[in-house]
Structure 1
């Protein structure tokens, strides 16, 4: 995980000399804009570009800076990003190959491409610079971070998810995470080409979704649960009424009858929050054919199971778990936290009647994502729920296995 070693410009941009030049230039431009009372926020991008390019040219000449044309162009680009964009990370936001951007401080910026983290050849000046960029990102959606509200998790206008945390909660300085919203959702063919799943598994899951199977996609953080849930959702027959419930809207369904609901955090007084449980309960009153919950992680688990048990067949959700057995234990744990007062056996029976299929997705150490198993629940006893794998990915052999009876 290192910066591009063969790109002299990338290395130059990381030097203290360049950062000092960029900071001085930025201060100069801000002073100039204020002196002339320029409202550049209202300008067309091309006008801003011409203005910055000309001022950088004059500044380099007047200060007799020892920079070549390529370095001068880099200064101009970075100056535009500081004035109109997200500063050092604007180029990463614009890069369609980048899925995630992670800032762990001024000098620790990482990107994720195809499941692999690497150091990005950008840096901030200091903690204050990081916080200013965070505030600029949050301003259009009416959010901010400060000492009284040091954490924020939100959805940007383009659908990307942003999480920011600042001191005093973040002990080593402000941190920022951006999960970019894919402009085009991955298709089944994309996943087959990447080896994430086989055509046989795709056809099996397509039929199960069409036949209104209740299922849960399980996996760890960054495993692709939401991406896979979105794929499954595309196979719901046209004409069905679908209600989606998410903390940050990521699902993209193109059906005619889709109602998208999104939770709302409490205000500064700690009031007026709208939780996932509130939304799932309300969804049950909206005449849904299916309910899709982006992720169950709290007391909404009880209402989701109720939905699956009361005629809303074909409902789906995701759950943070690393194996099918772990998923079932986690459901019990969440139900306990939610105040479930029934017996353990009764709860197992509810799970058994509510959920038919578990799809386990995972990100391998190589960064590749795989459907590790497609698992069917087969029964409930006094001790535990029983299940069997229909498909499983053999990590050692590097291939998907069809374990159904009579499968070749």
Structure 2
């Protein structure tokens, strides 16, 4: 039976419907969703392109009302009862989430206590919370095929539509709210995904003090490091807060500072906060097209950045060839530039970067890599976690040069008993003098 363009199940010979149960509500929600999606696609074709967000919401609500009216009419015509208030609410939520939101992921995305969502198939879902606890969650789709369609819809919702199929079996993308999505299919038994939510975007060092990542003295020191235009490298493990601290450090700069950011997937989003950053060029690496053409690497973007008259260049994460051009940029007068690197300790940073140097097109030796690092980077800021999983700054090392394959550093802030950084060895006199010129109170160091 078709009512106003929506098709619904009617039992044979107009017999009474069975009572509405969750399975039938889900089926009806999917039917209405499919009908609305078809209507929206028609409007988009007529318009010659994607619908504006406001129009899409308006049309979705219009067709949702029509679909529910049609369902109730069909039910009553067959001698049954209409939908309950709860049933209508459930259908509206599922359809809105599917067409305007994130489908079965919406509830987890809306939960402020969830930091990471992992799905190993549509119905093996885990939420990782701030305290590190992993909890099993409800399925995010009715089957694995629907999960793949959900991921494709997410790929279309970001800044740049990206393919996700057997030809391109992995997807690395930013969602509209700034969360980071990675998904894979065809190379595992079931499609899988991981979403790292971006809970702290408009963030300051003061916010991080309130969250316990660092104390007032360390916040003042970091503010001075940024203001004095030292080149900073932020190190930490997965989800230790590297990007969050990078945002906070950049937030300590004057709003007129011209920044060029380079990322493999947009995550910093500094341009969305003009009260903190008025002059931002945000670069994102580009993957090759289906013919293998059009790739733009982070290393190439670092070279482009130098031609954009930046005050500072920021690399979201050093992971490939961009390490060497970034260090060269730091050595060429772009003081105050910053980057992050994935390493579990400040000692491991050197080994990590030596490996990047060896794997780079330049094939740098360990000694050459360390010499480059020693001349380019002024401080290494290490992040970690306390026993209760609280993210903290654990160590800050002043880079003093190199000796062969060894980086010479002073640990000016060392891990305390609770792993939070406390004062370590003295700063070099010339370093303290430069900090004082940037407004640092030398009494705070005594």
Report the TM-score range of the alignment, normalised by the length of the smaller protein.
0.7 to 0.9
Q: Equivalences for 1:67-82 in 2 at 5 Å?
A: 69-70=85-86, 73-82=89-98
Equivalent residues of 2:122, 2:143 under 8 A apart: yes
Deviates more, 1:141-150 or 1:79-88: 79-88
24, 27, 31: which is aligned to 2:27? 24
Q: Is 1:403 aligned with 2:403? A: no
Deviates more, 1:183-192 or 1:240-249: 183-192
Which residue in 2 is equivalent to 1:297? Answer: 319
Which residue in 1 is equivalent to 2:440? Answer: none
Alpha-carbon distance, 1:182 to partner = 4.1
Q: Is 1:100 aligned with 2:108? A: no
Alpha-carbon distance, 1:68 to partner = 6.6
Change (3 A) 1:63 1:39: farther
Q: Equivalences for 1:176-187 in 2 at 5 Å?
A: 176-182=193-199, 184-187=201-204
230, 249, 257: which is aligned to 1:213? 230
Equivalent residues of 1:48, 1:80 under 8 A apart: no
- C-alpha separation between the residues in 2 aligned to 1:212 and 1:148? 45
- C-alpha separation between the residues in 2 aligned to 1:28 and 1:288? 52
What does the per-residue CA deviation read over 1:38-97, in whole Å, with 9 as the maximum and x for residues that have no partner? 968856154345345545655776696999754553244224433443321123334444
Deviates more, 1:30-39 or 1:69-78: 30-39
Alpha-carbon distance, 1:366 to partner = 3.3
Equivalent residues of 2:375, 2:401 under 8 A apart: no
Secondary structure of 1:152 counterpart: strand
103, 110, 113: which is aligned to 1:87? 103
Alpha-carbon distance, 1:368 to partner = 1.8
Equivalent residues of 2:234, 2:242 under 8 A apart: yes
| Structure having the higher Rg | 2
- C-alpha separation between the residues in 1 aligned to 2:72 and 2:342? 53
Secondary structure of 2:246 counterpart: helix
Equivalent residues of 1:56, 1:75 under 8 A apart: no
Q: How many residues align?
A: 389
Q: Equivalences for 1:365-380 in 2 at 5 Å?
A: 366-380=388-402
RMSD: 3.2
Q: Is 1:166 aligned with 2:185? A: yes
Secondary structure of 2:373 counterpart: helix
Q: Is 1:279 aligned with 2:301? A: yes
Which residue in 1 is equivalent to 2:15? Answer: none
- C-alpha separation between the residues in 1 aligned to 2:200 and 2:321? 32
Secondary structure of 2:318 counterpart: coil
**Uncovered stretches (5+) of structure 1, i.e. residues with no partner:** 1-16
Alpha-carbon distance, 1:130 to partner = 0.4
Equivalent residues of 1:56, 1:76 under 8 A apart: no
Change (3 A) 1:295 1:306: same
TM-score (norm 2): 0.77
**Uncovered stretches (5+) of structure 2, i.e. residues with no partner:** 1-19, 45-55, 271-275, 427-442
- C-alpha separation between the residues in 1 aligned to 2:254 and 2:291? 43
Equivalent residues of 1:358, 1:374 under 8 A apart: yes
Q: Is 1:353 aligned with 2:375? A: yes
- C-alpha separation between the residues in 2 aligned to 1:21 and 1:240? 57
Change (3 A) 1:27 1:328: closer
Equivalent residues of 2:259, 2:314 under 8 A apart: yes
- C-alpha separation between the residues in 1 aligned to 2:231 and 2:38? 63
- C-alpha separation between the residues in 2 aligned to 1:240 and 1:110? 41
Equivalent residues of 2:204, 2:247 under 8 A apart: no
Q: Is 1:227 aligned with 2:244? A: yes
212, 218, 239: which is aligned to 1:195? 212
Alpha-carbon distance, 1:224 to partner = 1.1
Equivalent residues of 2:204, 2:251 under 8 A apart: no
TM-score (norm 1): 0.84
Change (3 A) 1:60 1:303: farther
Change (3 A) 1:177 1:35: closer
Change (3 A) 1:96 1:383: closer
- C-alpha separation between the residues in 1 aligned to 2:393 and 2:189? 36
Equivalent residues of 1:52, 1:79 under 8 A apart: no
- C-alpha separation between the residues in 2 aligned to 1:315 and 1:82? 41
- C-alpha separation between the residues in 2 aligned to 1:280 and 1:264? 13
Change (3 A) 1:69 1:365: farther
Deviates more, 1:90-99 or 1:193-202: 90-99
Which residue in 2 is equivalent to 1:156? Answer: 175
Which residue in 1 is equivalent to 2:355? Answer: 333
Equivalent residues of 2:357, 2:365 under 8 A apart: no
